[in-house]
Amino acid sequence: MHRLLLLGTGGIAAHHIEEFARIPECEIVACVDLLPGKAKAFAEANGIARHFESLEEAIGWGGFDAAINATPDGVHKATTLALIGAGKHILCEKPLAPSYPDALAMTEAAESAGLVNMVNLSYRNSPAIQLARKMVEASEVGELRHVEAAYRQSWLVSKAWGDAMTEPQWLWRQSTAHGSTGVLGDVGIHILDFASFGAAEDFVSLKAELVTFPKVEGGRVGEYVLDANDSVAMSARLKSGALAIVLATRFATGYANDLSLSLHGTKGALKVETDGNRSTLSACLRADVDKGEWRELQLPEVRRNARRFADALISGENGDPSFRRAADIQKLIDAAFESSASDRRVTVA
């Protein structure tokens, strides 16, 4: 039995409780939260044996083999390096770090220590994206020519998830002074991973434009200056030379939380759609190409991230998506910020 520490008891923590409840080889044995009383309440509500109000306390106790790092983005590096120093395997929430140099430092530390290191890029759980990648690798669509990927959210115009102009959980995401890197930093890692994983190849260059739209008079709500980017659009080239169009936005009125990916090749095409729960994969292949007809495919069962993390703990062989994969995507995010600021295409080595 692998004993897990849950570091952070915010909104995403419930997801990890649910995911690891399905894994008989793992047990969450303790949780940590800095806010007084929060870890205790979370532990009691979820049947967790121990709770701590600092990571140092938990490491001093030491009764765990691996940790789920569900802390805010800005403290991923410090907390992860502390866990690595204690010899603990880690599943970290995305993004791994706010910048590529920090993400690389975390990657190299985990790899040097020989520890299992994975990042919870949750849309890898979609059976549609997993099957699409296999079909691309099997050359069922031929050589890729055009890729379109989009992550559409609407919480800046819809109150389905709450009021973006009054609630702190949404306000901080619009304020760089509060640690936000905007829609690009928040969900850009998802759509860039989704696109390149589905295409089964990496991006080599990109040209990006970031936009921050006016939302309230004066551009601020109390202590929150609403200056983080709300939308990003980019054109990119894949290693094969295929052209990709990628966008992410919080102003996609009519969409809640939707990812889509179209992969067009010389022999056929695939369309992936998911909202994190439901997934569909449609294909236009063989005789359907001449008729422009699409058929929805049956999706297989897939190993979810929690299962892959457990399997990596059991085997001792690192799983995917790894820290290095997340660092590589962070390099793309950094390049997009650079491209938008300089108004030029950036090559990604």
Task: Report pLDDT digits (tens) over 30-58.
Answer: 999 999 999 999 999 999 999 999 999 99
Per-residue model confidence (pLDDT) at position 7:
98
Number of Cβ atoms within 10 Å of the Cβ of 261: 28
Task: Report pLDDT digits (tens) over 180-205.
Answer: 899 999 999 999 999 999 999 999 99
Six token digits for residue 292? 């422009």
Q: What is the C-alpha separation between 74 and 78, in angstroms, rounded?
A: 9
For residue 63, how far is the Cα from the chain centroid?
Answer: 29
Element (H, E) at 158: none
Q: What is the CATH number of domain 2-122?
A: 3.40.50.720
> Could you give the dihedral angle defined by the CA atoms of residues 39, 44, 45 and 51, in that order, rounded to the nearest 10 degrees?
30
In the numeric block, the tokens 């690798």 are attached to 137
Q: What is the CA radius of gyration of the chain?
A: 21
- Helix spans in the chain (H): 13-20, 38-46, 55-61, 76-85, 100-113, 127-137, 168-171, 182-199, 287-291, 305-315, 323-342
- Band of residue 349 on the pLDDT scale cut at 50, 70, 90: confident
Nearest to 203 by CA among 331, 102, 326: 331
Most distant CA pair in the chain, distance: 65
Mean pLDDT throughout 318-326?
97
Residues β-bridged to residue 296: 282
Percentage, residues of the chain above pLDDT 90: 94
Per-residue model confidence (pLDDT) at position 246:
98
Q: Do domains 2-122 and 123-303+318-347 have the same CATH topology?
A: no
Nearest to 263 by CA among 138, 120, 119, 124: 138
* Phi, psi of 59, deg, nearest 5: -65, -40
Per-residue model confidence (pLDDT) at position 169:
87
> Could you give the dihedral angle defined by the CA atoms of residues 294, 147, 330 and 33, in that order, rounded to the nearest 10 degrees?
-20
Domain boundaries, the chain: 2-122, 123-303+318-347
Task: Report pLDDT digits (tens) over 265-301.
Answer: 999 999 999 998 999 999 999 999 999 999 999 999 9
Amino acid at 88: K
Nearest to 149 by CA among 235, 211, 257: 235
**CATH number of this structure's domain 123-303+318-347, picked from the four choices 3.30.360.10, 3.40.50.1010, 3.10.450.50, 1.10.3720.10:** 3.30.360.10
Q: What is the C-alpha separation between 346 and 343, in angstroms, rounded?
A: 9
In the numeric block, the tokens 């569900």 are attached to 70
Q: What is the C-alpha separation between 302 and 121, in angstroms, rounded?
A: 15
Q: Which residues of 183-205 are buried (b: 16+ CB within 10 A; e: fewer)?
A: bbbbbbbbbbbbbbbbbbbebee
Q: Evaluate whether 322 touches 309 at the Cβ level (below 8 Å).
A: no
Task: Report pLDDT digits (tens) over 89-116.
Answer: 999 999 999 899 999 999 999 999 999 9
